């Protein structure tokens, strides 16, 4: 009888299991930060919270540079960028995110727009997206755009990275903070008939407030692979009762589960908010029950005014309440009102695997550059069903991660954050019609695509 070896025939790879909490270091071992969080002597009442904090870091933020990214531009002498007459720029030699260099350009006082541009390239963006490292150096710079087009820029793609004018705490790209932004073609406004396979010119543009100048830093540009198919996450803020009584039944009928960002002390506090039983009903239906704020007061205040010590305590309270009540999702957060500072984002990153913002001029990437600053489509009572379904179509075509932020789902909207039940039903029906993948935030992170 002939024996045929089959040991090298592999089946499909399954999902990676959850990583356990790190053990104590060996005799000669040097403990990691996460191991220290477990091994230091903590009061018994804090032990479970310390474990939860380390568990929250298992997924952790991804490296800012994916192994399969390719660089278009890393600042160096002879970089080839040019400025317009309404701006000036200089190559800085220290403090870049990718190398010691970065480009800094400043708009002229009183000039509405300034930009820097690099021509003579030969870029093929088929099945790829841009990743651009940017930083605001002066608060006056508020509208930030990126362009990619042909020679002469008569045909081009245009992305608005940021358009919110004056609210620093809610900005996605903040003053003094390097932010790598993935720009999917789903979000590009097209002028003329540019070819993704033959792009020759790149441009970074900003404007400033009247009577002032704006300064923006460019730290590098790379290309990253485009994902396939796209995924949608439906997220719900503030623990309103209609999340359980209206949204969940509509979603469950289609087999969808969402992410509930929870204000802990709101639960059971009045008929406007969910009870603990209703919140568990969501988890039993497959939802994430994640963190938003420990209290209504903390939510109303916002994180941007908290000291590091206060924010640390706030995070511990939310994680402690969620874990004590048996909820999954305590390693994910939504910033109250979308407000935070760069320093606070770093603190949040030590507690949570992801943090969702309310910034949404561009859709998120399935493999986000900064998991602690997830972009979202923020729904208000002026948001149309057509605009949401158009975003879903772009997500499907370009393989993005569309995170939608809802507040109250009501029959007749009467406040800015209300959305009509009929409109919500229409969007859920459209997701099903298009066979979209709809997953809670934690599941998108876990699958890693």
CATH number at residue 368: 3.20.20.370
Residues 273, 245: Cα–Cα separation, whole Å = 11
Q: Is 286 left (phi over 0), alpha (psi -120 to 50) or beta?
A: left
Contact 259, 287 (CB under 8 A): yes
Give yes or no: residues 318 and 422 share one domain. Answer: yes
Give yes or no: residues 96 and 131 share one domain. Answer: yes
Query: Domain end: 190, 225, 260, which one?
Result: 225
CATH code at position 216: 2.60.120.260
- What is the pLDDT at residue 220? 95
Residues 401, 436: Cα–Cα separation, whole Å = 11
- The answer as to whether 56 is a domain residue is no
- The answer as to whether 46 is a domain residue is no
Give yes or no: residues 201 and 253 share one domain. Answer: no
- What is the pLDDT at residue 62? 43
Give yes or no: residues 191 and 250 share one domain. Answer: no
Rg (CA), the chain: 23
Mean pLDDT per block of 10 residues along the chain (449 residues) reads: 36 39 35 28 37 41 54 91 84 90 86 87 95 82 89 96 74 88 94 97 85 85 90 98 98 98 97 98 98 96 94 97 96 95 92 93 91 95 97 95 98 97 98 98 87
Give yes or no: residues 280 and 212 share one domain. Answer: no
- What is the pLDDT at residue 120? 96
Per-residue pLDDT tens digits for 126-162 = 999 999 999 987 656 678 899 999 999 999 999 999 8
- What is the pLDDT at residue 61? 42
Per-residue pLDDT tens digits for 59-74 = 444 444 555 578 899 9
Give yes or no: residues 89 and 219 share one domain. Answer: yes
- What is the pLDDT at residue 206? 87
Give yes or no: residues 293 and 428 share one domain. Answer: yes
Give yes or no: residues 192 and 257 share one domain. Answer: no
Give yes or no: residues 305 and 251 share one domain. Answer: yes
Give the range of the structural domain holding residue 127, as residue numbers without chain letter: 70-225
Backbone torsions φ then ψ of 20, nearest 5 degrees: -75, 165
Give yes or no: residues 139 and 246 share one domain. Answer: no
Q: Specify the number of domains making up the chain.
A: 2
- The answer as to whether 4 is a domain residue is no
Give yes or no: residues 196 and 143 share one domain. Answer: yes
Contact 217, 430 (CB under 8 A): no
Please tell me the pTM assigned to this model: 0.83
- The answer as to whether 236 is a domain residue is yes
C-alpha triplet 430, 432, 438: angle, nearest 5° = 105
Give yes or no: residues 139 and 160 share one domain. Answer: yes
- The answer as to whether 328 is a domain residue is yes
């Amino acid at each position: 009888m002939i024996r045929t070896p089959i040991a090298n025939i592999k089946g499909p790879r399954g999902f990676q299991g959850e990583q356990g909490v790190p053990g104590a270091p060996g005799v000669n071992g040097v403990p990691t930060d996460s191991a220290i969080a477990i091994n230091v002597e903590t009061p018994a009442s804090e032990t479970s919270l310390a474990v939860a904090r380390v568990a929250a870091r298992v997924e952790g933020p991804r490296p800012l540079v994916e192994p399969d990214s390719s660089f278009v531009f890393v600042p160096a002498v002879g970089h080839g960028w040019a400025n317009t007459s309404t701006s000036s720029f200089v190559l800085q030699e220290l403090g870049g995110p990718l190398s010691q260099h970065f480009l800094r350009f400043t708009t002229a006082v009183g000039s509405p727009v300034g930009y820097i541009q690099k021509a003579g390239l030969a870029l093929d963006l088929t099945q790829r997206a841009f990743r651009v490292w940017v930083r605001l150096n002066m608060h006056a710079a508020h509208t930030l755009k990126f362009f990619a087009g042909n020679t002469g820029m008569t045909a081009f793609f245009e992305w608005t990275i940021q358009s919110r004018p004056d609210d620093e705490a809610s900005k996605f790209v903040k003053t003094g903070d390097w932010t790598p932004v993935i720009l999917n073609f789903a979000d590009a406004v097209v002028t003329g008939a540019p070819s993704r396979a033959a792009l020759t010119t790149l441009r970074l543009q900003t404007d400033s407030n009247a009577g002032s100048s704006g300064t923006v830093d460019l730290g590098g540009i790379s290309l990253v692979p485009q994902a396939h198919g796209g995924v949608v996450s439906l997220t719900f803020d503030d623990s309103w009762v209609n999340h359980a009584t209206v949204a969940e039944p509509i979603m469950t009928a289609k087999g969808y589960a969402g992410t509930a960002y929870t204000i802990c002390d709101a639960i059971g506090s009045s008929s406007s908010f969910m009870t603990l039983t209703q919140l568990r009903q969501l988890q039993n239906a497959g939802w994430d029950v994640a963190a938003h704020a420990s209290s209504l007061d903390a939510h109303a205040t916002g994180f941007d005014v908290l000291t590091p010590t206060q924010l640390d305590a706030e995070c511990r309270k939310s994680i402690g309440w969620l874990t004590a009540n048996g909820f999954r999702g305590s390693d994910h957060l939504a910033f109250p009102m979308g407000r935070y500072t760069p320093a606070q984002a770093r603190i949040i990153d030590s507690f949570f695997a992801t943090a969702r913002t309310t910034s949404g001029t561009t859709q998120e990437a399935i493999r986000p550059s900064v998991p602690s600053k997830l972009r979202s489509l923020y729904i208000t009572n002026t948001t149309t069903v057509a605009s949401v379904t158009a975003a879903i179509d772009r997500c499907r075509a370009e393989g993005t991660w569309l995170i939608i932020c809802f507040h109250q789902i009501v029959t007749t909207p009467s406040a800015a954050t209300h959305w009509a039940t009929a409109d919500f039903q229409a969007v859920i029906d459209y997701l099903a019609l298009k066979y979209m993948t709809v997953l809670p935030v934690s599941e998108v992170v876990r699958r890693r695509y």
